[in-house]
Amino acid sequence: MKPQAWWQGAIIYQIYPRSYLDTNADGVGDLPGIIERLEYVASLGVEAIWISPFFKSPMADFGYDIADYREVDPLFGTLEDFDRLLVKAHRLGLKVMIDQVLSHTSSEHGWFLESRCSRENPRANWYVWADARADGGPPNNWLSIFGGVAWQWEPRRGQYYLHNFLVEQPDLNFHEPAVRHAVLQNVKFWLDRGVDGLRLDAINFCFHDQQLRNNPPKPENERQGGGFRADNPYAFQTHIYDNTRPENLPFLGELRALLDRYPGVVALGEISSENSVATMAEYTQPGRLHMAYSFELLGADGTPAHIRRTVEHAACAESAAGWPCWAISNHDVERVTSRWARGKTPPHFATFLTAVVCSLRGAICIYQGEELGLDEADVPFEALRDPYGIAFWPSFKGRDGCRTPMPWQNAPHGGFSAVAPWLPVPAAHLQRAAALQEVDSASTLNGFRHFHRWRKLQPELIHGDIRFLAADERMLAFERTTGESSMMAVFNFSGERQHIELAAAVGAEAVSGHGLPEGERDGVVVSIPSFGAFYARIRRA
């Protein structure tokens, strides 16, 4: 079997620092809190951690608006804290990936403060500036993901600047060579410190159309999907000029050339485009990113048919060198146990979903709290912090419901902090606290650990190719194949026992020990309990 890099088939555990553990009693999680819980993370059986932004920031978008790429925000600790985190993680056998937000900065970044002053200063061309139309309006029809126009008037220059996200997140002008050089130098700073990988936020948003052409309107029946709600005007356009521009591809080559100077370092790109799976494939061609993920499995459709369509599309589109990455929860979407629930679900539902996604071909991102089976928190309007949710309330409550602090103990504030945290900890989450689940052999936490220990012993689930098998709408069935053998995986997404005929089941040897309700085989017929699984190995002569 061809040797593979550490990240191919790896489980990557995402940590949202604000909500992991607060060690200095200010209500916000910090880097020392992550350090304190690294043994816990290692016990989950994951290969790596991805830490969401901890850089200096005014926190308009909670760290995704960076004011200094080389400094740790005092809210989270110090650069020395990060170095300690890196050393301890490596000692525990964990790789460390960090977020890099390249397409935009904070409006308080020194680059922007200089750029906005005049049209003649050394950084005048570092951001996307444009003159007003004759009637004073913005230069085109581009929209912000967070609602409204994507242009903000700046009276110091007498021009508009582009912001694909918040007003406080001006877009860098990647057509300017000095910008690309400066961005890559910031990346190099963290590579030199010893990080093992980068998660590249909104990486397809780096370049814009220099002619500033209007985006065409999108038909009403196509306005759902891709991570955007149909009631968000952003979904009313086909975004072909404001992101995913062809000029981005040479820049990815520049980035990859830098990364290749650091053996073993991986780049994981976040993609949100009109055809995200195709963009994933394009961005992972040789000499570009190692991996990419999109929002296809982060939406409301968690049916077997949708999962199959998405993964097959990726398999058909990807290059031989490319590698997909799948996630079913993260800090931007409703938690999967709420989003994919169809009525009442059994206690092992979260473990079932973990098994499904971790049996697909590719690396897997697991969001903190998935291992506890946390559901979406209902945060009242007066406690909301997310500007996205505040702007779209009440039709959309934003991202705070998936960002509430980790419940470590069944105690005030979940043992997350000695004071009231930045977001409230739901009472229901206290019943799923890590300390309670540690001592319960049947808990979601221990089911998560058990499955990952078992998965490590199944090379087909880590390295194998994937081929889907015919199944009805309640079942997901596929084979993962290496040169030596195939592993069949069949999942029952319904609330009742299901039967499926699979010719491949003849001669297959059932593999138990995964911890889910187990299916049984009788000839070509496989019978699987509700939200259960059937794994079987087919040896090759």
> Of 326, 83, 284, 290, nearest to 195 (Cα)?
83
Strand partners of residue 467: 479
Active site residue 386: no
Backbone dihedral region of 286: left (phi > 0), alpha (psi from -120 to 50 degrees) or beta? beta
Contact, 161 vs 152, CB < 8 A? yes
Beta-carbon contacts of residue 85 (< 8 Å; ≥ 6 apart)? 31, 34, 35, 38, 96
Q: Calculate the CA 439 to chain-centre distance.
A: 30
User: Could you give the CA distance from residue 103 to residue 105 in angstroms, rounded to a whole number?
Assistant: 7
DSSP character for 396?
A: -
SS3 (DSSP) at 303: coil
Q: Residue 57: is it exposed, middle or buried by C-beta count within 10 angstroms (0-12/13-18/19+)?
A: buried
Q: Is 296 a catalytic residue?
A: no
Tell me the C-alpha distance between 159 and 8, whole Å. 46
Residue found under tokens 């039967």: 499
Q: Select which of 65, 81, 270, 371 is catalytic.
A: 270
Instruction: State the catalytic residue, choosing from 168, 201, 242, 334.
Output: 201
Q: At what angle do helices 444-455 and 349-358 cross, to 10 degrees?
A: 20
For residues 322, 325, 331 and 333, what is the CA-based torsion angle, rounded to 10 degrees?
100
Give start and end residues of each alpha helix (H) in 400-496. 427-430, 434-438, 444-455, 459-463
Determine if the peptide bond prior to 394 is cis (ω within 30°): yes
One-letter-per-residue 3-state SS of 55-102: EECCCCCCCCCCCEEEEECCCCCCHHHHHHHHHHHHHCCCEEEEEEEC
Whole-angstrom Cα Rg for the chain: 23
Q: CB neighbours of 468 closer than 8 A, spacing ≥ 6?
A: 308, 311, 312, 477, 478
Q: Residue 275's closest CA among 179, 207, 204? A: 204
User: CB burial class (10 A; 0-12, 13-18, 19+) of residue 338?
Assistant: middle
Strand stretches in 64-221, DSSP E: 68-72, 95-101, 129-130, 151-154, 159-162, 197-201
Provide the token pair at 88: 């301890």
Strand partners, 212: none
Which residues lie below 8 Å from residue 31, measured CB to CB, with a gap of 6+? 17, 54, 72, 76, 77, 78, 81, 82, 85
Containing 352, the helix (H) or strand (E) segment is: helix 349-358
Residues recognised as catalytic: 201, 270
